[in-house]
Amino acid sequence: MSYQIVFDLFWNQVKASIQDGTFAKLTMAKTIGKPNLKNIFVRPLQTEDDFKILVKSHYRSKETEDEEQELSLEDTYAFLKSHLQTSFSSVLLFTTTKDVTFKINKKGAGRITENNPTFREVRQAKTDND
């Protein structure tokens, strides 16, 4: 199955974990080639008015500073999807009930696997300004 369709199914699990209050963290890993962008980390960020997501881009070179963005759920989806198949081939969702891994194989097909949870509690992210 096309990785885009499978990623949408994976993203439905991300949204469900946020609604259930079990979303702990999301990580994009398994870079394709050796890009400067090493990881993307996503954590919940409770703001005064509503739910936001802190997206941190972590770079290999010391000369490039890590970047943090506060995004909506929809903007986070678009941001992560833009890095699939170009920079990253896997995304790991950590919830307090299970870990869910999305992977793209060399033929461009997506796959979802589930494992026991790594995190037992949800910790809100803090921005560099906190």
Ordered by start, the domain boundaries in the chain are: 3-115
Which of 61, 52, 74 lies closest to 126 in space, CA to CA? Answer: 52
Among 13, 126, 11, 26, smallest CA distance to 68 is for 126
Question: In 47-107, where does DSSP find H-type helix?
Answer: 73-83
SS3 40: strand
Is residue 111 over pLDDT 70? yes
pLDDT, tens only, 39-64: 999 998 876 667 789 999 999 888 99
pLDDT surpassing 90 at residue 85: no
The lowest-confidence range among 11-15, 22-26, 44-48 is: 44-48
Which pLDDT does position 130 carry in this prediction?
47
Helices (H), the chain: 3-20, 73-83
3-state secondary structure of 27: strand
Tell me what pLDDT residue 20 has.
Answer: 92
